[in-house]
Amino acid sequence: MKKLLLNSIVLVCLLLTTSIQAHDSDFYLTDVTSNQNMVNFWTFFISDLNAAGKITIKRKGDYRIIESDGLPDHATGRFPNDKNPNAISEQKHSFRVPFKPKKGSVPSFVGMSAFGVALNGIPFDPATAEYWNNDRSSGWNIDALSSQMRAGLDQNNAHVQPNGAYHYHGIPTPLMERGDQYSQPILLGYAADGFPVYGPYGYKDANDKNSELVNLFPSYRLHEGERPGGPGGKFDGTYTKDYKFEKGLGDLDRCNGREGVTPEYPKGTYYYVITDSYPFIPRCWMGKPDDSFRKGPPPGRAGPGDTMKGKERKPKPKEDRRGIDLRNHRPSLDAISACDGRRSGSFCSYRTRALQVIQGTCRSNGPTLICIQIGR
């Protein structure tokens, strides 16, 4: 009897897995209420096996809402470990992305925000909190996948933040392995601006699903020579500023994306790619990111410990129109990130904390290039 029950469960799992794979566009790109029976089954089945990871994806108006407890639904490395002292703990992730995203005129740089979220509810988080000499104003941000970074990443290119949040810094290998990754592009999740995020394999001809599947390459490379300031030494990939974007060098644009067809978007779409070389997870968005991906309270709202009596007060400006942090007169991180991999005099743009788009040129601020608004 037990054997019969087990075989029945396996058969149902296979049928449902086939259904999900065959109807990804229905499951992820429309309101999941049309698949509520399937969702209820998986909720029951996962719960019954005491597996981690609860997630809901639903449509609400013009947005896709992704909520999760932040617990990975796959095996992880050991946390804490000798390079990461943090234990994985349950979160209350709630992300919102546009259902029909639109590209903007200029890219917005990710900075310290989460880039997007995977289909299992785990965030994609490209940046780290580590800087040369622990000096954030230097702009020399240590890359998470650098050989010099002691980040304690596990086999999934992920680790844990001090608050217990498990997050990916590179290709989430378990998600790739769940699909037929060597025959078609694998949808991994959504970026904060609503565009889909795929694994490193895509069609050689971006608009021909019958073309060969190839490993897509980014258009970044290391600077030549030695760093002019900061940590000094050769450009070896330790820092994000060691890299520069070179249009046409690879298959992807500055934001590690491209236009093309995918199984979920047979008519074509702009989509991002998580690659196996820098920038790994994209460092900018082509559309407008939703505030739910920002770390900390959104503009105009109180954070932990804040008191707001009576009428909600507007936040004091944290940076001026040139990208200078008014609290300590240092360049803001977004103004610095906008000039990563660029030369002095290059065009740059970024979005301030108040969601104002700054367009300007990269100018020297001591050993660091920062984005200065045109006309200032």
* pLDDT tens over the chain, length 376 residues: 545 555 544 444 444 433 333 333 334 544 332 233 333 333 333 332 334 579 999 999 999 999 999 999 999 999 999 999 999 999 999 999 999 999 998 999 999 999 999 999 999 999 998 999 999 889 999 999 987 776 899 999 999 999 999 999 999 999 999 989 999 999 999 999 999 999 999 999 999 999 999 999 999 999 999 999 899 999 999 999 999 999 999 999 999 999 999 999 999 999 999 999 999 999 999 999 999 999 754 433 333 332 333 333 344 444 454 454 444 445 676 777 777 767 777 777 776 655 566 777 788 776 677 888 765 5
| pLDDT for residue 306 | 29
19 and 68 in a single domain? The answer is: no
Amino acid letter, residue 191 = A
Who contacts 85 (Cβ-Cβ below 8 Å, separation ≥6)?
Answer: none
Burial classification of residue 339, based on how many CB atoms lie within 10 Å of its CB (0-12 exposed, 13-18 middle, 19 or more buried): buried
Token pair 């040129």 in the structure block, residue: 361
Residue 188 falls inside a structural domain: yes
- From CA 201, how far away is CA 176, in angstroms rounded? 10
Which of 114-117's residues contact partners 24+ apart within 8 Å by CB, and which partners?
Answer: 114/167, 114/192, 114/293, 114/295, 115/191, 115/192, 115/281, 115/282, 115/283, 115/285, 115/293, 116/189, 116/190, 116/191, 116/192, 116/197, 116/272, 116/293, 117/66, 117/68, 117/93, 117/189, 117/190, 117/293
Q: Residue 333's domain spans which residues?
A: 324-373
CB atoms within 10 A of CB 69: 14
| pLDDT for residue 28 | 52
Which among 154, 162, 152 is positioned nearest to 86, based on CA atoms? 162
161 and 233 in a single domain? The answer is: yes
| pLDDT for residue 330 | 56
- We report the CATH number of the domain holding residue 339 as 2.40.10
293 φ/ψ angles, rounded to the nearest 5 degrees: -95, -5
Residue 169: both structure tokens together: 């810094």
Residue 248: both structure tokens together: 């046409």
| pLDDT for residue 1 | 53
Residue 1 falls inside a structural domain: yes
CB atoms within 10 A of CB 57: 22
| pLDDT for residue 366 | 64
284 and 365 in a single domain? The answer is: no
109 and 170 in a single domain? The answer is: yes
130 and 19 in a single domain? The answer is: no
143 and 215 in a single domain? The answer is: yes
Residue 306 falls inside a structural domain: no
282 and 153 in a single domain? The answer is: yes
69 and 136 in a single domain? The answer is: yes
| pLDDT for residue 367 | 62
240 and 331 in a single domain? The answer is: no
